[in-house]
Amino acid sequence: MTEKIYEYRDEKNWFIGTWAGFNYFTCFGDDQVFEAVQKDFHHLLDQLQESGLQIHVVSYQSRFRLLSFLIQIIKDKTQRPLELRQQAGATLVVEGDKLVAVYLPEKGLPLTDFFGQTVETASDLGDSILIATKNEGKTKEFRQFFAQLGYKVENLNAYPDLPDVAETGLTFEENARLKAETIAELTGKMVLADDSGLKVDVLGGMPGVWSARFSGPDATDASNNAKLLHELAMVFEQKDRSAQFHCTLVMAAPGAQSLVVEADWEGYIATAPQGENGFGYDPLFLVGESGKTSAELSLEEKNKISHRAKALEKLVEAFPSWQEELAKQS
């Protein structure tokens, strides 16, 4: 059976194509023309995950005409509802209500031309992750980590009207899930919650999930540290003051299965506060056998070895697969 031959021709452009068993193109013209056609041809087919398009470019000037020709053949052979749109100098490939490919001018576009006045600088651009905390110290740590994934980070201080989520769980995961999943449903955003705490072996794992409230409902970092020192007042040997900082992270999105990771950071409890950095129990937590507390580390040092750093490493590893599943559900 003879394959259908497609052709487009005007004064500046001449394309011939067919549909066969694999993608292939040939092109008359100089290296610049060849590279332009090759880039657009393969980008479109990669984005659409189609194979079988074969074209010959006799002459070329218009990217839009070439893309229109390619889309025409793909639509005819696959019945996919593909359309081309032009916006502010960019060419968009749309399938139904989804944007599947974007072609920008060679020199790019001003952000305000493409997105309107809602995006004025690069810092306004991109998706954000809402961290379910009002703690600016935690937020700073998360912000540094998620920058490597291209995400902005915001916290609950930007959402003063959201109700407080009671941490009524009996485990770190239960509390983290409560925060992440409740806030994700209320805001429609991707939300990361952590439940972190200090587990002291000689105290049977206390203060554990009650770390933030160890000294009572009006607890402060200072009062919690004072109570911990009081509880360990008769424990003199460092080996008997072993402890772990624990972190459970839960990433949630509306209607999706949450991603859960956890990690521990081994150490000991000092006999007196040391250091000015960090927050919470950092001034009392001796890092391994180093003799330094967490509060004596810089943020950069802490972010390489802490319980939250270890959990985030696991999260960063699992996050792309979770994102892919999320995209399939949208």
Inter-residue contact 327 to 271 (CB < 8 Å):
no
- DSSP letters, 155-182, are EGGG-TTSPPPP---SSHHHHHHHHHHH
- Spatial neighbors of 15 by CB under 8 A, at least 6 apart, are 6, 7, 8, 9, 55, 56, 57, 58, 60, 65, 66, 69
The residues annotated with a catalytic role in the active site are: 195
Inter-residue contact 23 to 53 (CB < 8 Å):
yes
> Which contacts of 202-207 are long-range, i.e. CB under 8 A and separated by 24 or more positions?
202/232, 202/235, 202/240, 202/241, 202/242, 203/231, 203/232, 206/231
| 307: its two tokens | 């319980």
d(CA 251, CA 319) in angstroms, rounded, equals 9
Amino acid at the residue 13: N
HSE of 206, CA atoms in CB hemisphere, 13 A:
13
Inter-residue contact 134 to 157 (CB < 8 Å):
yes
Distance between alpha carbon 17 and the CA centroid of its chain, in Å? 40
d(CA 114, CA 110) in angstroms, rounded, equals 7
Residues β-bridged to residue 72: none
Report CA torsion sign: 228, 231, 236, 241.
Answer: negative
* Placement of tokens 């497609």 in the chain: 6
